Structures are given as structure tokens and as C-alpha cells.
Amino acid sequence: ACSCSAVKFQWTSDPDAMCARRGAGEYRDDYALLAFPMSHHATLQAHCHAHGLQYGCTVFLPRDVAKVAPFIDFQKSASFEASDRAFIEAHFEIDKPLIVSTGMMDSHSEAFAWLKSQQQSGRLSMLGCSSAYPCPIDGLNLASIRRCGLDGFSDHSHDVRVGAWAVAAGAEILETHFRLDDCDPANKDYAVAFTPAEFKQYIQNVRDCEAAMGDGQKRVMDAEQPMLRYRVTA
């Protein structure tokens, strides 16, 4: 109903292992929410496809990459795992597109350079990202999309304008967070995620920006035609 083109869930087979891997024991209860039954993936995939949407998933444990592979149209790595080369390479064994967020990563780092080499070889797409929840306007660094040759932006701003700004900065892939109106305010994602009404406006802003950007070719536009007869030539 909001006119998005894909839905991505997060999933883990073992929240305790996820906590240990990230050193984030204080998030144990939140990670447990991601450990829904494996059978749900088939249901989610079927529902997405019935509505013309792609279904993707982010996992956090290397062993979970292959588990979700039969159900997804694309893979996504969160920024927290993006510097783990072995983890990223595990995704290459699955014949599905891979998108990687690059929050907390310096463009001069070895990890970033390696991801760029994989991007340039066509093995993955890279998203600009600031891992702040929510992210303030002055923390977005949208100019890095074009400057660093990134493919898109993972948006944690909870600002309906930012997706359009990212498109103007060169983004071709956008990811943001979504919640229902009755989401518990205690949920860690609450402050970042858009309600349906907000998300619909977010996407409309993106589409308006795409229309305004045009194709970049300088020519006489259709809207200018009535004024052509007044043009002075020499």
C-alpha cells in the first residue's frame, strides 16, 4: 500500500550466539524477537510475491546464510558484520544479489577497499549508512554516496525527506525501517521506523525527486515548448 518494491526481514537462528558474536548481551531480548520460526520465511516470501514485492533477509551468523537462501530474492548484510570478510564471502556461495551497508566504516580502511573491489566485480552493492538510531541530519553524510561510488543509502533518520535527498545524491537503492501503528514504543526500532502514513510519504518524496532529476540530458523540455517562440537567436 505504501508502494515500496521490496520487504526485508532480519532473522537469527540463535540470539545467544548473535549476542556473543557482537558482544551485545544487553540486546538479548531484542535479538530474541528476530528468532521467529524458520517456516515463516516461506509464508513471508509467498505473501510478498503475491503482492509483486521482493523478499529479502538479513542474517547475522555465518551458518544462517544458507538457511534462508531458498526463500529470498536478495541478501543483506548489516553494517555490524560488513567488516567480516569471511561472513561476506559466505554470501557469495548463494546465487542471490547481496547488498551491504557500510555504517561505522572509513573509506580509507582495508575493509572498505575490499568491499569496493567486490562491488566493482559485480558481486555486491554498497549502501552509505550512519549507524545511529535515529541518525541526526548532520550525521547522514549523503555526499559520500556519489563521492565514494556507492549504490544507495540505508536510512536511519526517521525523516521523510531524506530518501529523496539520497536519490539526489546518487542513490539507486534505499533501505529504511518500517513499523505498524500499534508498535510498542519500547521496541528498539520504534524511534527509527516509519509508520505506514510516513512511509507512504517517504516513497512519494523519492518518486517526486526521481521525476525532478530527469535523465540528465540537457535539451528543450516539453514544459518549455510554449516559450520557444520568444527565444532570441543571433
At 109-139, the pLDDT tens digits run: 999 999 999 999 999 999 999 999 999 999 9
At 141-178, the pLDDT tens digits run: 999 999 999 999 999 999 999 999 999 999 999 999 99
Report whether 159 contacts 201 (CB < 8 A).
no
The amino acid sitting at 13 is S
The amino acid sitting at 31 is Y
Position 150 scores a pLDDT of 98
Model confidence, pTM: 0.95
Of the candidates 130, 186, 126, 184, the residue with the CA atom closest to the CA atom of residue 158: 130
Chain centroid to CA 49: 19
DSSP state of 56: E
At 28-80, the pLDDT tens digits run: 999 999 999 999 999 999 999 999 999 999 999 999 999 999 999 999 999 99
Position 84 scores a pLDDT of 98
β-pair partners for 180: none
Report whether 48 contacts 54 (CB < 8 A).
yes
